[in-house]
Amino acid sequence: MNENFTQQEILLNTEASFSKRNWAENGNEEQTASGREELEKACWNGLFRDLLPEILEKSADGKSLVLWQINEMDCFIQLELSDSPSAQDKMFSINPYSCLAQQQFN
């Protein structure tokens, strides 16, 4: 049985002014985490859905994709969304660390 899965990657530049905002939860005046950690926590809490609704894909049956993993890199964080947990094909990744490693095989 041939099943289609929808996967999406989003890269958020952690060096941009967007990422340096105060992402701490309301009422939490004491900041204990770094800006990067706050951004990652905000993404796990679904904030990216409010900030980036125009780029979010839907599954084949019209449902919202689920955030399965966040990878932290040197200057960005990578959000991996899909309708079910599955291995991502690195050859089609927008992550420069993944696709550059695949480039040597071309």
Q: Higher model confidence: residue 68 or residue 104?
A: 68
**How many C-beta atoms lie closer than 10 Å to residue 53's C-beta?**
8
Question: How confident is the prediction for the chain on average, in pLDDT?
Answer: 78
Q: Higher model confidence: residue 18 or residue 39?
A: 39
Q: Which residues of 85-94 are buried (b: 16+ CB within 10 A; e: fewer)?
A: eeebeeeebe
Quote the pTM value: 0.76
- Residue 25 in tokens: 């939860």
Of 94, 64, 54, give the one whose Cα is nearest residue 76: 94
Q: Give helix then strand counts, H and E, for the chain.
A: 3, 3
